[in-house]
């Protein structure tokens, strides 16, 4: 017959093994999940947080980086697209003072970490507008506005909508400061 110490030791080892198996299974399941679609992705990865809001009938969201490089995302060469954003007061929206869009597009606002704070949809031919944000800009920080051509569904998806770049490979963008 076993003594009590040996029995407790075996139970302890069995519990530790079971916990390790459960943790491994959870990590495997979470690691195999793909990021969710923007709009229902401007804020996701397996560890991303997603927020969405509706402003003037346009769905907006906040996106954290998902580890996908900008060059690995769908992109297209600019055919007249341009945007201008002046330095402006901090807040929950960004005014785009001038834009030239040949196709229906999203203008996304990114912070210095590359996180998308919000995006606004604009039809082809729009000349100015306001991008609602899910997370406010902050005084003294720099931001970037970039153009994504909508894939036709009017739902922002940073993985499906095409980033617009110039012929030299640089993004069609505008840098600005929040005051």
Q: What per-residue confidence (pLDDT) applies to 70?
A: 44
pLDDT tens per residue, range 33-51: 433 333 333 433 322 333 3
How high does pLDDT run on average in the chain?
A: 75
Closest CA to 120 of 83, 165, 89, 74: 83
Residue 121, in any domain of the structure: yes
Both tokens assigned to 65: 């980086």
How long, in residues, is the chain? 179
Q: Are 60 and 133 in contact (CB under 8 A)?
A: yes
- 61 & 14 share domain: no
- 58 & 143 share domain: yes
Q: What secondary structure letter does DSSP report for 37?
A: P
Read off the CATH number of the domain in which 59 is found. Answer: 2.60.40
- 122 & 166 share domain: yes
Residue 78, in any domain of the structure: yes
Q: b/e per residue, 128-153, with b = 16+ CB within 10 A?
A: ebebbbbeebeeeeebbbbbbbbeee
pLDDT tens per residue, range 94-119: 999 999 999 999 999 999 999 999 99
Residue 168, in any domain of the structure: yes
Residue 135 pLDDT grade (very low, low, confident, very high; cuts 50, 70, 90):
very high
Residue 38, in any domain of the structure: no
Residue 152, in any domain of the structure: yes
Indicate the pTM of the whole model: 0.59
Distance CA 177, CA 85 (A): 9
- 64 & 137 share domain: yes
Residue 46, in any domain of the structure: no
């Amino acid at each position: 017959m076993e003594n009590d110490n040996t029995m407790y030791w075996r139970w302890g080892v069995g519990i530790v093994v079971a916990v390790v198996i459960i943790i491994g299974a959870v990590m495997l399941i979470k690691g195999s999940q793909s990021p969710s679609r923007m709009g229902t992705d401007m804020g996701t990865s397996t560890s991303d947080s997603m927020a969405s809001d509706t402003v003037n009938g346009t769905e907006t969201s906040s996106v954290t980086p998902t580890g996908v490089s900008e060059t690995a995302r769908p992109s297209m060469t600019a055919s007249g697209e341009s945007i201008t954003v002046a330095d402006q007061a901090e807040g929950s929206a960004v005014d785009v003072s001038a834009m030239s869009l040949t196709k229906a597009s999203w203008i996304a606002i990114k912070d210095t970490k590359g996180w998308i704070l919000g995006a606004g949809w604009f039809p082809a031919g729009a000349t100015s507008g306001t991008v609602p944000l899910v997370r406010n800009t902050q005084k003294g920080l720099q931001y970037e506005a970039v153009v994504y051509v909508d894939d036709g569904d009017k739902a922002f998806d940073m993985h499906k909508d095409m980033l617009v770049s110039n012929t030299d490979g640089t993004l069609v963008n505008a840098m600005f400061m929040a005051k």
